[in-house]
Structure 1
Amino acid sequence: MPYLHQLDPIAFSLGPLKVHWYGIAYAVAFVLAWWLARLRIRAGRLPGIDQEGLSDLMFYGMLGVVLGGRLGYILFYDLPAYVAEPLSVFKVWQGGMSFHGGLLGVLAAAAWWTRKHRLHFFDTVDFLAPLVPSGLFVGRLANFVNGELWGKYTGTKWGVIFPTTDPNVVDLKLSAAQLQAQYAAGALDQFARHPTQLYEAGLEGLVMFAVLWWFSRKPRPRYAVSGLFALLYGVFRFVVEFVRVPDQQLDYLALGWVTMGQLLSLPLVLLGLFLLWLSRRAPTVQPAGGGA
């Protein structure tokens, strides 16, 4: 039987202030990334950098995620709407963050920090790459709680019904009692959708974290960890997009199936393959005290 989504995107209220799960997810993602980064620093994965230097890197990285993610969504997905209502750029609790924009923001922050500390750019990126999937995991869970970014109708009994965000269900104008009655009778099964948020949480979050954390536990040639990250994310996102509904304002871009998510992910696949190829003859950065 399909699952009826009835999760409240608001975690709790403090007077007029409403705290959304989306915001909590970002806070949790940053804490996780910081904790994992400290583990990698202690293991000597970024030689010459102490806890103070790490704090600077993580702070700038967080700014890159938020600013890049927001600006990326505006530029890639919904520029006309934000031109019409510029102040809506600050309504981050409503969603509207782009992974690809956030990635560019992090890379820009890493480039600035790397130059300041006179390191190789990809040594920094290789250090950061295993930290990202934990944030993707909690972020996709927040998307699920918000009832956004869902997939196509499954035609099966194991999908998820989104009664407050699926326009076809909203248009039925059912009361809470009617909704429960229709759901119990199986009349809403036709509206069960692929929970693509959970697919991505599993693939981009759990699977990528397990692979990258394991892969980066021992010294790897420069570019290898970054290349594996780009390849895995690009492939996973490209595949999930086949069952994910494209953003309404964009729809499919070509051939009746190409989405903006696929268009932005394909370069990551190519970049990942190129970086893995480069890593074959690249030096291996040893942990602090690990030798030449």
Structure 2
Amino acid sequence: MLFPFDLFLLAALPFPEIDPVFFSLGPLKFRWYGLMYLLGLSGAYFLIRSRARAKNISLSQEQLYDLIVYAALGVFLGGRIGYTLFYNAAYYVEHPLSILAVWEGGMSFHGGLIGTCIALWIFCRRKGFAPYTIADLAAQAVPIGLGFGRIGNFINGELYGRPTDVDWCMVFPRGGDACRHPSQLYEAGLEGVALFLLLWIIGRRDTPPGTVFWTFICGYGIFRSFVELFREPDAHLGLLLGPLTMGQLLSFPMVLLGLLMILIGYRNRALKTR
């Protein structure tokens, strides 16, 4: 059975095995995954600048630079701390110094989201912006980073899918001999392209403050929960509470909270216009 996101895939092709290092200069090695982060942040910068101008939001060049720096720190610190808490707490309790070993890998989107929200709240307090003003701007840019990040995961051959016999399955070097769903590309298509388009459409409409942000929260939760059906669960965690993965357990509350806050936003605006 074919799914809409099959359009993003190249059917029946072997895993390309792209070298994770795209450029070397002596001892320095520049990796595709790091480049994806850079492209995501650059895309966020230009999109936020464009949307701020379109909505007549007074965001200076210096403030925009600061916003990107705050967001980047939130993603990095929150993502790392979130991974240690959500995915491998027992290991890091026994090896606390390994929390600093970021070169070994281990980042959590949900932790990065929490870290970014905290960082942007601090930014708003210091710069005098209404939190939803910045949250709505930033939310529209997040799918850019998500899309590039999942492509980076694909290049690295990590976070691959479950074994399958579909025509477009791939054998990942780290995944043994099984042919698997290229779930990183599913996520790039849904959490990146589809979510970006959804937020772009909503962002151009007259909506209550916070609607774009909470739509992102809800939309990501839906797409991530769906893709987890095809993504290989973390080996050291497996399935939890029956058939659920840790990604689904962290994403389901996002769907409920996002829907609730959208309804509250529209309800409050209706009450004000009476």
The TM-score normalised by the length of structure 1 is 0.83
| Matches of 1:53 and 1:193, distance apart in 2 | 44
Q: Which residue of 2 aligns with 1:179?
A: none
| Matches of 1:4 and 1:74, distance apart in 2 | 30
Identity %: 46
Is 1:140 matched with 2:126?
Answer: no
Deviations 1:185-239 (A, max 9, x none): xxxxxx2100110000000000000110121023321121112111110000001
For the aligned residue pairs, the C-alpha RMSD in angstroms reads 1.9
- Structure 1 runs not aligned, ≥5 long: 170-190, 285-292
Q: Which residue of 2 aligns with 1:40?
A: 51
Number of aligned pairs? 259
Q: Which residue of 2 aligns with 1:236?
A: 223
Q: Which residue of 1 aligns with 2:267?
A: 281
**How far off its partner does 1:147 sit?**
0.6
Contact 2:52 2:58 (8 Å CA) reproduced:
no
**How far off its partner does 1:122 sit?**
2.1
Is 1:261 matched with 2:269?
Answer: no
Is 1:131 matched with 2:141?
Answer: yes
Deviations 1:89-108 (A, max 9, x none): 34445532111011001100
Distance 1:107 1:149, change over 3 A: same
After TM superposition, the structure 1 = structure 2 runs for residues 1-292 of structure 1, keeping only pairs within 5 Å, are 1-44=12-55, 47-163=57-173, 165-166=174-175, 168-169=176-177, 191-255=178-242, 257-283=243-269
Distance 1:197 1:241, change over 3 A: same
Higher mean C-alpha displacement, 85-94 vs 229-238: 85-94
Contact 2:75 2:112 (8 Å CA) reproduced:
yes
Match for 1:158: what amino acid? W
Deviations 1:35-76 (A, max 9, x none): 11111122135x343222222222111110111111111111
- Structure 2 runs not aligned, ≥5 long: 1-11
| Matches of 1:84 and 1:15, distance apart in 2 | 36
Higher mean C-alpha displacement, 261-270 vs 245-254: 245-254
| Matches of 1:107 and 1:277, distance apart in 2 | 21
| Structure with bigger RCO (C-alpha 8 Å, 6+ apart) | 1
